[in-house]
A and B are shown apart, each in its own frame.
Chain A
Amino acid sequence: MTRIDNHPVPGATSAVSVRGLVKHYGETKALDGVDLDVREGTVLGVLGPNGAGKTTLVRILSTLIQPTSGQATVAGYDVLRQPRQLRRVIGLTGQYASVDEKLPGWENLYMIGRLLDLPRKDARARADELLERFSLTDAAKRPASTYSGGMRRRLDLAASMIGRPLVLFLDEPTTGLDPRTRNEVWSEVKRMVGDGVTVLLTTQYMEEAEQLASELAVIDRGKVVAGGAIDELKAKVGGRTLRIRPADPLQLRPLARDLDDLGITGLATTAVDTETGSVLVPILSDEQLTAVTGAVIARGITIASISTELPSLDEVFLSLTGHRASAAPQEDSTPTDTREEVAV
């Protein structure tokens, strides 16, 4: 049997369908009426802060917990009525690598192969194949407890792939990884998507969603607060931010006003960060970046520093929903509170 047989045309139907999903823990509403769809063969990024309900959503969809109310189907199987069938077609990589740390990498994969009813010979072959694919062959015989964070995450991804799932759930696959390891995991996920697997990915990073997902659902306090194709949402958020710090602080406000007046940045408005003494310009394209830089130079201003940065989760929320994310700010977020809007 080939891969193609398992995977119908991308986008034809919903591989994951969620309607009015609610999960209460006592008084806490972890999910408060979530609706979303993941089309077959595509990647949906579920973006939200800690405590937004991302993990609860993934745990319901992978039948680990049951919803309080609402409906959800994965590959056509109902999470409540057909959990056994559903488990045959999914793969799960949790927020914390869910491998058996005491077992060697190979034994982890072989065990899961056997649990998925592969004959011994096939389970052995599949374990070898996936270790090779995820560059873990050299570490095959070492206990997973000796693996680095990135290796453990790769082993976890390999474990999710053993059953050739139709739908893969990735719950914050790179949280806690260093940037280099994060890139490794991203490229592995992209390869899986290339194989035609449908993916629902939760993340706290806009950058991660941009890298991997084609569509985005922004979730906050158990509700989807924004959603759509990632390119559209990116246009609203403004993609990157250009940060310019003039050598003379007195130039700060006139520069911001001038840039707004030029109208180069389209819909988005320039902001002033008084704490660092810099102008923040939302940038949508390389052409815009070139135009704005050109305009600054044309004014003859001496630049002390200039850089581009990707929007933080806070900024994404602010742009898409008009309010800040409700959970505690993340460690890596920029100090947006010191910023003030400049009148258009």
Chain B
Amino acid sequence: MSAATLPAPVKDVQDDGRIPLRGHLRHTGALVRRNLLWIRQDPESMADALLMPIIFTLLFVFVFGGSIGQALGGGQDGYVQYVIPGMIAMMSMTLSQGVGTGFCQDFNSGVMDRFRSLPIGRGSVLFAKISVELIRMLLATTVLMIVAVLVGFEIHHWVGLFAAVGLSTLFASSIMWVFLTLGVIMKSAQSVQAMGFLVLFPLQFGSSIFAPPQSMPGWLQTFTDYNPLSTLADAARGLMVGGPVAHALWVTIGWSVAITAVMAPVAIHKFRTKS
């Protein structure tokens, strides 16, 4: 063995074992590479990010677009302008589940034991997973916008579009902590997915994403009013096509900060103490 010719591992760690920022970045980078290699190894895993925006956009625009658009007073074309900003929000939400299922798989396969027995910050494992899901999310958003333009969505101003994408990403990254917690405490990736579906489905449809809540019964309107996905969709709509923005924007940012403040410590605690 050529042990003598190789240097011993660089231990750029301080005496108390704390890992400097440079180390954290290197570890996160190595783990991002791992998650990207997964995609190369298994390209079908990108199907949700690439196909879902196409299928959902076409379904909603062509199935509901006519009738809801009529009620809105703009026809199918009016509905496209209404629904696309909300779809960005929905897409981010659905993809943020991947963090939870991925984590659950890592725990079950034993590879998480390997990571946790290595001298790396445990946060690196979290941040790498989140980074890769954010990359997937931006890809999905790009596909969504291409389809949206093809079915007649008008981009009024790019700044508004980027602001809306940024806001969706911010909110999704706060929801990721919820899925991370689920991924750590639940036994299988399937149950994380099932649980995610149960949580997300009412939030997504009981909101102003797909239809204006004015026609909904009072109790449901109350729910949609408080549903952060409504404010996110309203803010995105305001930013992308115009209309009131400020209130929805601040409420959404408030929700993101609050969810992160509560759920990030819970997720990190559950992750650290998981046996």
Residues of A at under 8 Å CB distance from B? 1-3, 6, 59, 62-66, 82-85, 87-88, 90, 92, 94, 96-104, 107, 111-112, 114-119, 122, 125-126, 129, 133, 143, 159, 163-164, 195
Residues of B within 8 A of A88 (CB): 11, 13, 17, 119
B215 within 8 A of A: no
In angstroms, Cα B147 to Cα A70, docked, is 62
Contacting pair B17 A84 (CB below 8 A): yes
- Given A6-B8, A84-B16, A122-B6, are A100 and B109 neighbors across the interface (CB < 8 Å)? yes
- Neighbour of B8 across the interface among A112, A125, A164, CB < 8 A: A164
B12 within 8 A of A: yes
B34 within 8 A of A: yes
B155 within 8 A of A: no
Q: List 25 A-B contacts (CB under 8 A).
A: A2-B3, A59-B113, A64-B113, A64-B117, A66-B273, A84-B16, A84-B17, A84-B119, A88-B11, A88-B17, A88-B119, A90-B117, A98-B111, A98-B112, A98-B113, A99-B114, A101-B109, A102-B38, A107-B34, A111-B30, A117-B10, A119-B10, A122-B6, A164-B8, A195-B1
Q: A96-B110, A115-B27, A129-B1 are in contact. List 5 more A-B contacts (CB 8 A).
A: A63-B117, A66-B273, A84-B13, A84-B17, A92-B114
Taking CB as reference atom, which chain A residue is nearest B5?
A125
Binds A, one of B18-26, B82-90, B162-170, B193-201: B18-26
B44 within 8 A of A: no
Q: Kindly list the 10 A-B residue pairs having the minimum CB-CB distance in the complex, ordered from nearest.
A: A84-B17, A98-B110, A114-B30, A87-B119, A65-B275, A98-B114, A85-B17, A88-B119, A92-B117, A62-B117
- Neighbour of B41 across the interface among A62, A83, A143, CB < 8 A: A143
In angstroms, Cα B117 to Cα A117, docked, is 14
Residues of A within 8 A of B33 (CB): 111, 114
In angstroms, Cα B114 to Cα A157, docked, is 11
- Given A116-B118, A129-B1, are A163 and B9 neighbors across the interface (CB < 8 Å)? yes
Residues of A within 8 A of B29 (CB): 114
Residues of B within 8 A of A2 (CB): 3-4
In angstroms, Cα B139 to Cα A312, docked, is 58
Contacting pair A1 B113 (CB below 8 A): no
Residues of B within 8 A of A97 (CB): 110
Contacting pair B3 A87 (CB below 8 A): no
Contacting pair B117 A3 (CB below 8 A): no
In angstroms, Cα B117 to Cα A126, docked, is 19
In angstroms, Cα B41 to Cα A147, docked, is 15
Taking CB as reference atom, which chain B residue is nearest A133?
B1
**Segment 218-275 of B: residues with Cβ below 8 Å from A:** 273, 275
B214 within 8 A of A: no
- Neighbour of B118 across the interface among A87, A96, A102, CB < 8 A: A87
In angstroms, Cα B3 to Cα A1, docked, is 8
Residues of A within 8 A of B34 (CB): 100, 103, 107, 111
- Neighbour of B113 across the interface among A94, A107, A111, A163, CB < 8 A: A94
